[in-house]
Amino acid sequence: MAKILLEMKNITKTFPGVKALDNVNLQVEEGEIHALVGENGAGKSTLMNVLSGIYPHGTYEGDIIYDGQVCKFSNIKDSEKLGIVIIHQELALVPEMTIGENMYLGNECGHKFAIDWNKTYSEADKYLKMVGLQESSKIQVKTIGTGKQQLVEIAKALAKKAKLLILDEPTSSLNEEDSRALLDLMLSFKKQGMTMIIITHKLNEVSYVADKITVIRDGSTIETIDNHGAEPVSEERIIKGMVGREMTNRFPKRENVRIGDVKMEISHWTVHHPLYPEKKVVDDVSMYVRQGEVVGIYGLMGAGRTELAMSIFGQSYGVNFSGELKLDGKPIKMRKSEADAIKHKIAYVTEDRKGNGLVLSQSIKVNTSLANLDAISNNMVIDGDREYAVAEEYRDKLKIKTPSVEQLVGNLSGGNQQKVLLAKWMFAEPDILLLDEPTRGIDVGAKYEIYCIINDLAAAGKCVVLISSELPEVLGMSDRIYIMNEARIVGEMKAEEATQENIMAAILRSGRGV
């Protein structure tokens, strides 16, 4: 047996209210590629943040043993000194700077008071060759594509003298060709003795590169599978580990289910990335929603769900739109305007309530009336009493826990903030509600209340599109489910037919062919 390079023992990490990691164990041998798989929120990234010192020693329980030493990292510099380098999912390059500047950012080479640019660029070029890039390190990062940028990230890690390289979903923003090249590069590094941990959702990549696979679910390690065993590890086997939890009665029962005619329909809907117009973020999507129906859209992060919803909502995301949007059977020419979408009775309830949903510095009252100010004003003069009454009405209806509707939204808990966000859109009186991760980051009790609100909306004849990366939620709430992966709809199922296994299978089938 080869030498154990890294051992993480009984790691437990708690955030206020949540146990993100619960006694996690991980053993990585020298010179292997170790895959870490699990659903969104299972704790993979948290574990890697503990390892790299982003969560410093003392904020978690358990031990990190690296190269035979117990390590107590207090920041990311400490771990990098020992050769543990993490490459995050989002590229962390500064587009305006050169490749060389980026590679040595925060790690500048030269004297104490002066950077040695000759050395910087010649060293940078050396590492770029190692990852197979022909570009000069003196060109700006923004001039090369995302695939090459990912390689620059790896070169940057090599420049830090990495011994243990952690790649967090390295292929999530790459096309198939670039992904394949990256995986092959990993295999060639392995031959040179590098140890790597790869976090990924694409199980075909796992079976291609990994020597061992550790499955994490709900903050605990489930199992570690050897990929070189007697029989090849099947995807079903991995999926079972990933999702094999019991479904409990976490969802209120739907009553008064009366599904009517098709209300909204989109066909061949295609949207491109606003910064990289050649990249499709929504690719030829066709779907429909009926009155009184809850339609779930399941997909992993980055599958294009948010982009789809926002592009339907007054083209508020993306460029170069094509495809057709029909409301009540009639094609609608919608301008690039959110106000226009609201006029057509479409609401988009964002996944990022703090970032672009609520105005935290304003009161519950102000936030509630925000999307439909005209309804409480005469000739642009706001009727303060009516506004107050409306806020009170929704506070009662949605059980928002607050002493007063004059309370600032920033002072509320996540669950209550989410309710204010819902109140805002319910007051806009839409027919179609696009709910993007409506229960993200809120506790179980508040989740149940949000589910009840969703059911009430459907019972009142509204169309609800429920976007979620939590499988049980989609299964428990929806009448019909679309499955999205890599910008496309890759499956449609009735709620009765859907299971966790066949949804995951649909995603994996579509991601094949790397």
Partner 1 sequence: MENKSFLATLKKNAMLIVMVLVYLFFMVLTRGGIFKPSSFTELINQNAYVYILGTGMLMCMLTGGNIDLSCGAFVCLLGAFGGVFMIVRGMGVGVSILLLLAIGVIYGVFLGFLIAYIHIPPWIATLAGYLAFRGLGTSILSNNSKTGSLAPFPVKFQNIFYGRVFQTEKGIFNWPCFLFGILAAAAVVLVVFMTRKNRLAKGYEADTIRAAALKSGISSAAIILVMTKLSMDGGIPTTLLWVAGIVLIYSFITSKTTVGRHFYIVGGNMEAARLSGVNTRRIMFLAYLNMAILTAIATFTVVARSQSAYADVGKNFEMDAISACVVGGVSASGGAGSVLGMVIGATLIGIINLGMSLISLDANYQRVVKGFVLLAAVVFDILSKKRES
Chain residues binding partner 1 by CB under 8 A are 313-314, 316, 337-339, 341-342, 348, 350, 355-362, 366, 370-371, 373-374, 377, 380-382, 384-385, 388-389, 404, 406, 410-411, 424
Distance between terminal CA atoms of the chain? 31
| Minimum gap (Å) between residue 335 Cβ and partner 1 | 12
Spell out the residues 6+ positions from residue 155 whose beta carbon is closer than 8 angstroms to its own.
103, 124, 127, 128, 130, 131, 133
Instruction: Please state the closest distance from residue 318 (CB atom) to partner 1, in A.
Output: 14
Report the candidate in 77, 97, 74, 95 with the shortest Cα–Cα distance to residue 86. Answer: 77
Nearer to partner 1, 150 or 368 (CB): 368
Distance of CA 73 to the CA centre of its chain: 27
Smallest separation, CB 342 to partner 1 (Å): 4
| Shortest Å distance, C-beta 385 to partner 1 | 6
Which residue lies nearer to partner 1 by CB, 145 or 414?
414
49 vs 350, which CB is nearer to partner 1? 350
User: Nearer to partner 1 by C-beta: 436 or 486?
Assistant: 436
Q: Are strands 84-87 and 164-168 parallel, antiparallel or unpaired?
A: parallel
We find the least distance from the C-beta atom of residue 446 to partner 1, in angstroms, to be 21
Residue 308, token pair as written in the block: 């789809």
**Which strands form 212-217's sheet, in the order they lie side by side?**
84-87, 164-168, 195-199, 33-37, 212-217, 220-226
User: Is-contact 159 99, C-beta < 8 A?
Assistant: no
Strands 195-199 and 319-327: unpaired
Looking at the Cβ atoms of 45 and 368, the one nearer to partner 1 is 368
User: With helix as H, strand as E and coil as C, how does 158-192 read?
Assistant: HHCCCCEEEEECCCCCCCHHHHHHHHHHHHHHHHC
- Looking at beta carbons only, is 31 or 441 nearer to partner 1? 441
Shortest approach of partner 1 to residue 357 CB, angstroms?
Answer: 6
Give 327-330 contacts, CB < 8 A, sequence gap 24+.
327/263, 327/264, 328/261, 328/263, 329/262, 329/265
- Burial label, 460 (beta-carbon count in 10 A; 0-12, 13-18, 19+): exposed
Q: How far is the CB of 386 from partner 1 (least distance, A)?
A: 10
Choice between 314 and 511, CB closer to partner 1? 314
**Closer residue to partner 1 (CB): 265 or 387:** 387
Tell me the closest approach of the beta carbon of residue 417 to partner 1, in angstroms: 12
